[in-house]
Homo-oligomer: A and B are copies of this chain.
Amino acid sequence: MKKTTLLYMVLIAAFLAYAARHVYTNQVGEGSFRSEELRGELGENYVMVTFLSGIEYWKSCLKGFEDAAEALNVSIEYRGATQYDAREQITVLEQIIAKKPAGIAISAIDPDSLKGAIDKAVDAGIPVVLFDSGAPDSKAFSFLGTDNAAAGGAAAEQMAGLLGGQGQVAVITLPNQQNHDERTQGFQDAIRQRYPGMEVVAVEDDKGDAMIAKDLTKSLLKRYPNLAGVFVTEAAGGKGAGEAAAELDRTEKLRVIAFDTDKDTLDMIREGRISATIAQGTWNMGYWSLQYLFHLHHDLTIPSPTASGDVSPLPVNVNTGISVVTPQNVDDYYAK
């Protein structure tokens, strides 16, 4: 027993002495980390794939992807279904796989229908990561996106701060869409658990339409004349709720908290018609997606992506965080 203790002490001392020298380079063998510099090769091309590819939301994801490409000296391509159409996105993905790119970052329109094409890419040796909208059962190596319950909680904190923890509030959302349900739930849970002076009096469906959100806000104000705040979980509706609030003839302001950073929303924060909006970590989704794909393509991770068995060469789930945009910092969120 004493021999073992002594052996341990010698081993620990040896390791500490080793660590103190700050020379770790040969610890896990030469060549196990293959790149001295993170620089891509000529023709190394990565593809970002979305759906509804024309909407403003993706711009910041793409900017992150582009910034990482610039830093790593690789080229990128942006593709996507133009519509909200799973079959179109699958077709686009199949076309991309045929070209054998160095990696694919995809926001899956829906997890089940995309799984087959994603797995096909991975089986063909093409690294795939998911961002924004995941496909948990697929073979993709990682998912980078928002913790929507936490985002709803942050909206509740902001609302409580604006209202001094008192008053009736409502939610306008897209029921039965998972990310929106999670935002609503996170908002309601935070209020119930931490703000006994507040109450969520209604949860309404604006179908992603600013006009409907405006009408809903007006009718909510009739039903609840003391309504003090509205949290809108989707990008379009904040504008409508903000317009309804601006037209309001009351001593107390109706506080509106929106979601995402469309130019309209930012403008209305500047003008004081929307109090705050929740910015998702979209730049981070794009930036770290490309970093991950690069590391997979160059086999730089430990364990290796080619190791056998049930292996995670990369972080499997990355909560990209949110930021609260207010009149104080709104200028930072305009695409320059």
Using CB atoms and an 8 Å cutoff, list the residues of chain A in contact with chain B: 8, 11-13, 15-16, 19, 22, 24-25, 27-29, 32-33, 35-39, 53-56, 59-60, 62-64, 66-67, 70-73, 75-78, 82, 144, 147, 154, 158, 279, 281, 283-284, 287-288, 291, 300-304, 307-312, 314-326, 328-329, 332-333, 335-336
Contact = CB atoms under 8 A, between A and B. Distances in A.
30 contacts: A8-B54, A13-B54, A15-B54, A15-B56, A16-B54, A22-B76, A24-B78, A25-B70, A28-B335, A33-B67, A33-B70, A33-B71, A37-B37, A38-B72, A154-B310, A279-B303, A303-B332, A308-B332, A309-B323, A309-B324, A309-B328, A309-B329, A310-B324, A311-B323, A312-B320, A312-B322, A314-B321, A315-B318, A316-B321, A317-B321
Contacts of A335: 27-29
Contact of A25 (B66, B82, B154): B66
Contacts of A70: 25, 33, 36
A95 B279 CA distance: 37
A193 to B, nearest CB: 16
B33 A281 contact: no
Given A22-B76, A33-B67, A54-B12, A307 B332 contact: yes
Given A71-B33, A301-B284, A336-B29, A24 B62 contact: yes
Contacts of A326: 309
A289 to B, nearest CB: 11
A104 to B, nearest CB: 16
A317 B147 contact: yes
Contacts of A302: 60, 63-64, 67, 283-284, 287
A162 to B, nearest CB: 13
Contacts of A55: 12
A78 B328 contact: no
Q: Counting chain B CB atoms within 10 Å of each CB, which of A60, A321, A322 scores highest? A: A321
Contacts of A315: 144, 281, 284, 288, 318-321
A35 B309 contact: no
Contact of A317 (B22, B303, B319): B319
A15 B60 CA distance: 13
A60 B281 CA distance: 29
Given A37-B39, A62-B19, A307 B319 contact: no
Nearest to A22: B77
Contacts of A311: 323-324, 329
A102 to B, nearest CB: 15
Nearest to A161: B310
A328 B308 contact: yes
A184 to B, nearest CB: 20
Contacts of A309: 323-326, 328-329
